[in-house]
Amino acid sequence: MPPSAVVIGVDSSTQSTKAVLTDADTGRTLAVGSAPHRVTGVAGARETDPEVWWDALRAAVGAGVDQAGIPSASVTGIAVAGQQHGLVVLGRDGRPLRHALLWNDTRSAPQAAALTEEFGGPAAWTARTGSVPVASYTATKWRWLRENEPATADAAAAVRLPHDFLTERLAGVPATDPGDASGTGWYATATGAYDPGLLALIGLDAALLPPVAATGAARAGTLTAAAAAELGLPAGIAVAAGTGDNMAAAVGLGLGGAGLLDHPVLSLGTSGTVFAATRARPASPALSGFAATDGTYLPLACTLNCTLAVDKVAGLLGLGREAAAPGGEAVLLPYLDGERTPDLPTAAGLLTGLRHTTTREQLLGAAYEGAVVTVLRALDEVLRACGPEAAAASDRPLRLIGGGARGRMWVETVRRLSGRAVVMPEAGELVALGAAALAAAAAGGGDPVAVATAWGTGSGPVLPPVERDLETWHRVTSVLDHATPALLS
């Protein structure tokens, strides 16, 4: 029997767009359409033309509708989850004035350091926003733009995040949500609003920003006739405010709702990300104290170097990504793109501990170990930020998601170095499924976390814990603790 209502969740990530058509009643995935993006830039620059995102969204939605074989009239809602932090600058015609500066563009590292000092240091920032600016954050990119391309900044008629840009194209009205807004550096989690003092500090007029919806599931508007014609969907369907990719993944996993700390999440993708849902407003200089999109909080830490960096090492060694062995005495910190956690934006990779007996397979294993130890150390900080709730989660399994979760060596390395049980959610495309739950809530009402929980998108088999490899853990952490930014750069 065909579904009575279909919702579309869009995951507009760094490298591609995926549109997941979902049965709004059961959560069953009906189809997944996808289209690639193009990222350009060298020497720390990472940019994409936002029009590429719109073209990819159109292509992905069209492919998904064709694949599902459903009448477009059955679609009742759509929501976008986008890569966080990117800076989109629009002119008076609503079109981009330049390519977007992406989250992994590290050119604004000097501006991040300057802003941190100008506002009174890390403690002042975390008290206001929950986070200390790093090169990833949108505020640092706006400061970079003002200093390096002042004519473009002066011509700006609107400033958007990636998901805001796409939502506005769909609904014809500007909107963002607390989750993605909390990654800008100009939104205060302490007040739940844009911060006038921070906007003045970076030289940004609040009138250029979109209104902040109550949640990502709030209805931003309805699909315009123009957008409907381009997408082949019915005009007037619900368009949710949407959110950032990490916040949508949390919804897709059923995190939040009551605000209780649930299984912490470790996402292995181009970047390594760890987060948990909590009622406690996080304020640690070592992590991003984000708001969740449902009214709770999502303390999060992100490392820049994860699967892509390890794949690069595998390529340099002439090995397949699974042809790895534990690293032995070698330690390899694969900080090929600088690093965000720890905050070393100009870092390079570091290899130490080589012996005549070291094999290529061990070097590749050492790259896995360096990446996993880095992200697990970030997880420790996330759990500390969750306050007393974290104690109850000390023995809970990790939820392992992302492309790396499909790799045997990634899974084995996480289990070996964490000593925790691991839940492997069976549902794919969790970011898009979280966006689909936001769309379902916008179209029919209700709590998107409860929707996703009823769909069961966060459930899957549990791999039991194995004995923790403390010898490797201490070897890698010793190098991390003693390697200075000067040594790594």
Instruction: Quick: pLDDT tens for 50-103.
Output: 999 999 999 999 999 999 999 989 999 999 999 999 999 999 999 999 999 999
**Predicted TM-score (pTM) of this structure:** 0.86
pLDDT digits (tens, 9 = 90+) for 252-311: 998 876 544 567 899 998 889 999 888 888 888 888 899 999 888 999 898 989 999 999
Whether 205 and 279 map to the same domain: the answer is no
Give mean pLDDT, residues 196-225.
97
Do both 68 and 190 map to the same domain? yes
| Domain CATH number, residue 139 | 3.30.420.40
- The answer on pLDDT for 38 being more than 60 is yes
Q: Is-catalytic flag, 380?
A: no
Cα 241 to Cα 76, 189, 251, 255, 427: the distances in Å are 15, 18, 14, 19, 23
* Mean pLDDT, range 179-186, rounded to an integer: 97
Question: 48 or 269, which is more confident?
Answer: 48
Please, what is the average pLDDT of the chain?
93
Q: Is residue 443 part of a domain?
A: no
∠ Cα 160 163 166 (to 5°): 90
> Is residue 448 in some structural domain?
no
- Assess if residue 378 is contained within a domain: yes
Together in a domain, 284 and 399: yes
Q: With respect to residue 253, please indicate whether it lies within any of the assigned structural domains.
A: no
Beta strand 238-240 with 6-12 is unpaired
Please tell me the predicted confidence (pLDDT) of residue 340. 78
40-44, 197-201, 255-259: which range is least confident on average? 255-259
Question: Can you tell me which residue has the tokens 């830039």?
Answer: 41
Query: How many Cα atoms within 13 Å fall on the side-chain side of residue 218?
Result: 17
**Residue 406, C-beta contacts closer than 8 angstroms, at least 6 positions apart:** none
The predicted structure's pLDDT at residue 259? 42
pLDDT of the residue at 112: 96
At 486, the pLDDT band (50, 70, 90 cuts) reads low
Confidence check: pLDDT of 376 > 80 = yes
355 & 305 share domain: yes
Contact between 42 and 49 under an 8 Å Cβ cutoff? The reply is no
CA-based end-to-end distance of the chain: 59
- Tell whether 189 and 330 lie within a shared domain: no
Same domain, 22 and 76: yes
Question: Does residue 76 fall inside a structural domain?
Answer: yes
Contacting residues for 208 by C-beta, under 8 A, at least 6 apart? 156, 157, 158, 159
Residue 427: the pLDDT is 87
Helix (H, G, I), strand (E, B) or coil at 303: strand
Q: Which residues contact 477 (CB under 8 A, 6 or more apart)?
A: 373, 377
Asked if the structure places residue 453 within a domain, the reply is no
Q: Where does the pLDDT of residue 346 fall: very low under 50, low under 70, confident under 90, or very high at 90 and above? A: confident
Asked if residue 251 belongs to a domain, the reply is no
Considering the domain architecture, whether residues 215 and 305 belong to the same structural domain is answered as no
What range defines the domain where residue 114 resides? 6-246+433-438
Angle at 383 between CA 300 and CA 180, to 5 degrees: 20
Give Cα 475 distance to the centre of its chain.
29
pLDDT at 261: 55
Query: How many CB atoms are closer than 10 A to CB 95?
Result: 10
Is residue 33 located within the same domain as residue 145?
yes
Length of the chain, in residues: 489
* pLDDT at residue 337 in the model: 86
Q: What is the mean pLDDT of residues 429-447?
A: 95
The one catalytic residue among 11, 164, 195, 245: 245
Decide if 296 is inside a domain. Answer: yes
- Do 242 and 263 lie in one domain? The reply is no
Number of structural domains (the chain) is 2
- Both 40 and 151 in a single domain? yes
Per-state percent for the chain, helix, strand, coil, to nearest 5: 40, 20, 40
Q: Indicate whether 170 and 293 sit together in one domain.
A: no
**Both 411 and 271 in a single domain?**
yes
The confidence score (pLDDT) of residue 3 equals: 81
